[in-house]
Amino acid sequence: MSAQVTTAAEPATGLTSPPTRHARLLAWVAEIADLTTPDQVVWCDGSRAEWERLTAELVAFGTLEPVPGKPDSFIARTDPDDVARVEERTFICSVDPEDAGPTNNWTAPDYMRETMTDLYRGSMRGRTMYVVPFCMGSLEAEKPMFGVEITDSAYVAVSMHIMTRMGAEALEKMGENADFVPCLHSVGAPLEPGQADVPWPCNETKYISHFPGDREIWSFGSGYGGNSLLGKKCYSLRIGSAIGREEGWLAEHMLILRLTSPEGKVFHVTGAFPSACGKTNLAMLEPTIPGWKVETLGDDIAWLRFGEDGRLWASNPEYGFFGVAPGTDYRTNPNAMRTIEKGHTLFTNVALTEDGDVWWEGMGEPPAHATDWKGQPWTPDTGTLSSHPNSRFCTPIRQCPVLADEYDDPRGVPIDAILFGGRRADTIPLVTQSRDWVHGVYMGATLSSETTAAAKGKVGVVRRDPMAMLPFIGYNAADYFGHWIEMGKAAVDEDLMPKVFYVNWFRRDDDGKFLWPGFGENSRVLKWVTERLDGTAEAVETPIGYCPTPNSLDVSGLGMSDEDLEAALKVDLDEWTAEIPLIESWFARFGDKLPATLWSELDALKHRLGLE
């Protein structure tokens, strides 16, 4: 390796030896340095000094701007074209295209490696290559899930400080032999000698490639979180789901929360919702009903494994929140606001007010003057959004005031209920309980939602988003449904499996007004869920599952009209009849691979709807 090697704790000058004797890791780092030819190689140690040095450098480059109103916090403004996950540029490079399935983009692994190797050749010229050792989930896990990200973006390195357990401790734990997922990232913007840098380097050509066979991730051209923080969606969901299939567990796009009733009874719930549909809000919810308490364990990703007691336990592999900023305020998510108020937060594509604090749409009164996410002067009359709809806050989980102690417990918590939810203006009632595990899998497999700004593309289009995992299933989605069904069979007793519920906070009336107030009021739905678990809440059996009777849902003090409540809970047979062909064509995409039980579930539903 010709590049200069240093650890980031010291100024990036003197040549020091790499801080590990892990031969496979050393060989890989040397190989990538040879290929990408950075000016220097820096091993990240995760220290406070490193954070200070890198953020100061990023401020000097103009990538970050300090937020005076919050301690140790910064705003990043991306290239206006590099603001979200790029699903059309995301690939599952399995050997057999069948293993990627009809919902993923596929390219042969050899071809992808060749193409991307050409792109990586010299791609870090003029830049620093950071080596970021990290662990998804607790370092104390029986088998810690290590990864190492090589990146030429200091923004990525500091974001990894927040989002993962990383640095010297992770590297030390890896010892000389531990398995790890190599995660290679380059923004793809080499600098010629003397060439001035831009604040947000990236490349028009983007690839987010996964090699499940080799458990490897290659990302090129984008600096945006979901494309560049490779421990997150790429490792913990796409590669994670493929590992989970082999090992008998589930990697899911789920929040994890603990709910305590006024009587002190404890429940653990996970919830799968597509990106930008309120997972973070639900994870930190402040119940509006007296005596109930919510504690947070995770807001985006859950790994579900069987415990020794035969129950399904969930743990959060992440160490921070990467939440959608717009719409977040003291009314919708006070605990997220308190989390970021403590500082140490990186904001991306939000506005900076003239008195030096962050602002975004939905956070109370707009400031008279601000700098918008593109760095332009902004006033409420400008007529544009001050913040990108997918702007984010990246903040340490430990700052969350309602964090449950078990967030760091490698075993996680035993799950009582799984919620599946989407954003649907019609058809899907507020809450429906599945008849059994397989019916719950059917609900997840047919989950649908209107698209959001979290991914590039048109917003507001209804699409199937199975288990809210459409962009994140690392193998054939039909096999993934099969794996979910197998998990139910693997259970010692189906009674020990979590009960499954389908929720929709986003149903609207004919005037387009939301029928259900949402946010903290969702605690009322959680209460009904726990009462169903306890067998105390009433339900009506409908063609689609068990729905609350109007009296069984606690709406006391809500001031909701009977008509609105009825409309929120309604199973509209016409709407469901219209939904059936959509589900049929969705299932048909999987051909013979779709588990036959899911066709049977659909047939049974049609029968109950009186359609055959």
Binding site for Mn ion (CB under 5 A): 275, 300
Beta-carbon contacts of residue 462 (< 8 Å; ≥ 6 apart): 424, 448, 449, 450
**CB nearer Mn ion, residue 101 or residue 226:** 226
Residue given tokens 């008998």 in the structure block? 248
Any known ligand binding at 476?
no
Which of the listed partners (Mn ion, ligand SAT, none) does 225 bind, with a CB threshold of 5 to 8 Å by partner kind?
ligand SAT
180 is in an annotated binding site: no
Residue 79 or 318 having the CB closest to Mn ion: 318
Identify whether 183 is a catalytic site residue. no
Give the β-pairing of 181-186 and 216-220.
Answer: parallel
DSSP conformation class of 139: T
DSSP line for 292-315: -EEEEEESS-EEEEE-TTSSEEEE
Residues that bind ligand SAT (CB under 6 A): 85, 225-226, 232-233, 275, 322, 454
C-alpha span between 6 and 2 (Å, rounded)? 13
How far is the C-alpha of 540 from the C-alpha of 526, rounded, in Å?
17
Query: Which lies closer to Mn ion via its Cβ, residue 286 or residue 300?
Result: 300
Q: Which does 232 bind (CB under 5 to 8 A by kind): ligand SAT, Mn ion, none?
A: ligand SAT
Alpha-carbon gap, residue 302 to 81, rounded angstroms: 30
CB of 317 to ligand SAT, least distance (A): 13
> From CA 316, how far away is CA 475, in angstroms rounded?
21
Select 322 or 546, whichever has its Cβ closest to ligand SAT: 322
Give me the least distance between CB of 234 and ligand SAT, in Å please: 9
Question: Checking phi first, is residue 24 left (phi over 0); if not, alpha (psi -120 to 50) or beta?
Answer: alpha
Nearest approach in angstroms of CB 253 to Mn ion is 6
The answer to the question of whether 226 is labelled as a binding residue is yes
Single-letter amino acid, residue 6: T
Q: Closest distance between ligand SAT and the C-beta of residue 454, in Å?
A: 4
Tokens 């929120």 found at: 568
Choosing among ligand SAT, Mn ion, none, which partner's interface includes residue 454 (Cβ < 5 to 8 Å by kind)? ligand SAT
Burial (CB count <10 Å: 0-12, 13-18, 19+), residue 336: buried
Q: Are strands 266-272 and 370-371 parallel, antiparallel or unpaired?
A: unpaired
Min separation Cβ 275 and Mn ion, Å: 4
Pick the catalytic residue from 277, 394, 400, 547: 277
| C-beta of 76 vs 568, nearer to ligand SAT | 76
Instruction: Rank residues 9 and 285 by Cβ distance to Mn ion and give the closer one.
Output: 285
545 is an annotated ligand-binding site residue: no
The answer to whether 275 and 469 have CB atoms below 8 angstroms apart is no
Confirm whether residue 390 is marked as ligand binding.
Answer: yes
Residues 6+ apart with CB under 8 A from 536: none
Instruction: Give the angle 170-4-139 at the CA atoms, nearest 5°.
Output: 0
Q: Which does 322 bind (CB under 5 to 8 A by kind): Mn ion, ligand SAT, none?
A: ligand SAT
Instruction: Please state the closest distance from residue 229 (CB atom) to ligand SAT, in A.
Output: 7
Numbered residues of the known binding site: 85, 224-226, 233, 253, 275-281, 300, 390-392, 423, 519-522
Numbered residues of the known binding site for substrate: 85, 224-226, 275, 390-392
Residues with active-site annotation: 277
Numbered residues of the known binding site for GTP: 276-281, 392, 423, 519-522
Numbered residues of the known binding site for Mn(2+): 233, 253, 300
